[in-house]
Amino acid sequence: MRTIKERDREVIWHPYTPMKAWPEAIAIVKGEGVWLTDEDGDRYLDAISSWWVNLHGHAHPYIAQKVSEQVAMLEHCIFAGFTHEPAVRLAERLLEILPGQMQKIFYSDNGSTAVEVAIKMSLQYWKNKGIKKKKLVALQNAYHGDTFGAMAVSGRSVFTEAFTDFLFDVVFIPFPGAEDNGESVAALESVLQQGDVAAFIAEPLVQGSAGMCMYSADVLEAYFSLCKKYNAHIIADEVMTGFGRTGPLFACSQIKTHPDMICLSKGLTGGSMPLGVTACTQDIFDAFYDEDRAKMLYHGHSFTANPTICAAALASLDLLLEDSCADNRNRIIGAHKEFAASIKGHKAIADVRQTGTILAMELKTDNPSYHTGIRDVLYRFFLGKKIIMRPIGNVIYILPPYCISNDELQYIYACIKEFLESAVGN
């Protein structure tokens, strides 16, 4: 009998995968806790929560039970002109925990669409009000997704290169970095002063795909308060940072000034199913609340607010809001801190940084690009140790499901140390 991975090679085109250089995918047949088991029975420790989505461990029995109950009751129904309990309940519960004055939830399918919706909400808000504000501002090296609007507000990089000519113009301001010198905030202010900025979009505190690049809550507060001062919308892309990754439930919970729109996905369903949310304030919603149908938001997806997926998100929220989940996050934060201190200054390391449960290590290399050779060396090294890591260029990071045990964390740390030692030895 042919294996799954042999059959895969004939019919599947994988995302973000150089198909010629990486001809073989590992076929996973089972998940439990932080472990994924392949068709040969080998187990892999998922140190990156499967592209940053998984919060409570794989195949969580509570989420599985709630999904199974929902799918047997109502699996899907159109969400224009109809509604259902799981979507309403999820919106109510999200609005209770989101920072700021969020009043309405708009559902879509994933992180990119959550961003698309926020961009459309902002641009049409100003149009509906008859105010000429069309400029979008973002941070250099940002990543907001792979659809065209989301690509446009993302930093121009190897990800977007083939499509550059088709992306609308966006003003990018410099990334502040850990030791911010005020340049980034000043750059934002000078764009805002022109008076035509519709929205500023940012990944709060941590730019994920840029290489887990981190900046302070003070800088985030400075950005947001400037946007308020100059009457430009704030779009907080919490697709990666949401649901406890930075410690508190949301990165924006750490500051005083609040966004007008918050984009969510990834951890929203505990990583079990795709769902996007764009939360917004009453003010945003009101700009579309009109007799004139030209003013409504022309956006929706076939699977908008799918009840089965909303049930998964509700189940994940139940788990997230248990005290034990906060305890687990604090335990991970403490363990990361200790480990970071133990490798700080290591000869093979250019930088170690941490925000909440996310720990990133930048390795010294002559060529720190996305496709740097060290990336594949790192990937293969950790795979050999049965750890799933997906280095971003020369940056490795741990972004684990919150149920990871101390022993499992220590195993990852020990393997990282082993790699660092071998790198110095070479």
HEC per residue, 50-101: HHHCCCCCECCHHHHHHHHHHHHHCCCCCCCCCCCHHHHHHHHHHHHHCCCC
| Closer residue to ligand PLP in complex, CB, 100/145 | 145
Cα distance between residue 224 and residue 130, in whole Å: 24
Q: Kindly state the smallest distance separating residue 345's Cβ from ligand PLP, in Å.
A: 30
Helices 307-320/61-73 angle, 10° precision? 150
Q: Which residues contact 260 (CB under 8 A, 6 or more apart)?
A: 122, 199, 233, 234, 235, 280, 281, 283, 284
Please return the burial class of 205, using the count of CB atoms within 10 Å of its CB with bins 0-12, 13-18 and 19+: buried
Cα distance between residue 76 and residue 314, in whole Å: 16
Range list of H helices, 321-405: 323-343, 373-384
Q: Kindly state the smallest distance separating residue 51's Cβ from ligand PLP, in Å.
A: 7
Cα distance between residue 98 and residue 251, in whole Å: 10
| Closer residue to ligand PLP in complex, CB, 150/188 | 150
Distance linking the first and last C-alpha atoms of the chain: 43
298 belongs to the catalytic site: no
Q: Kindly state the smallest distance separating residue 144's Cβ from ligand PLP, in Å.
A: 5
| Closer residue to ligand PLP in complex, CB, 212/287 | 212
| Closer residue to ligand PLP in complex, CB, 209/254 | 209
215 belongs to the catalytic site: no
Q: Is the dihedral of CA 96, 98, 104, 107 positive or negative?
A: negative
Which candidate, 249, 239, 216, places its Cα nearest to that of 353?
216
Q: Kindly state the smallest distance separating residue 110's Cβ from ligand PLP, in Å.
A: 3
266 belongs to the catalytic site: yes
C-beta nearest to ligand PLP: residue: 111
Q: Which of 107, 237, 260, 397 is catalytic?
A: 237
Q: Kindly state the smallest distance separating residue 284's Cβ from ligand PLP, in Å.
A: 19
Cα distance between residue 263 and residue 113, in whole Å: 9
- Fill in the amino acid letter for 246: T
Cα distance between residue 326 and residue 89, in whole Å: 22
Structure tokens at 143: 């990543």
Q: Which of 125, 143, 215, 413 is catalytic?
A: 143
237 belongs to the catalytic site: yes
Which candidate, 264, 16, 262, places its Cα nearest to that of 146?
16
| Closer residue to ligand PLP in complex, CB, 86/149 | 149
| Closer residue to ligand PLP in complex, CB, 115/138 | 115
Q: Which of 16, 20, 169, 407 is catalytic?
A: 16
* Alpha carbon distances (Å) from 278 to 23, 261, 389: 37, 7, 29
Cα distance between residue 114 and residue 145, in whole Å: 9
Q: Which of 66, 135, 266, 402 is catalytic?
A: 266
Structure tokens at 343: 């490798």
Q: Which residue has the tokens 């998964």?
A: 312
Residues that bind ligand PLP (CB under 6 A): 110-112, 115, 143-145, 203, 208-209, 237, 239-240, 265
Q: Kindly state the smallest distance separating residue 177's Cβ from ligand PLP, in Å.
A: 18
Cα distance between residue 301 and residue 119, in whole Å: 16
| Closer residue to ligand PLP in complex, CB, 146/221 | 146
Q: Kindly state the smallest distance separating residue 195's Cβ from ligand PLP, in Å.
A: 28
**Residues with catalytic function:** 16, 143, 237, 266
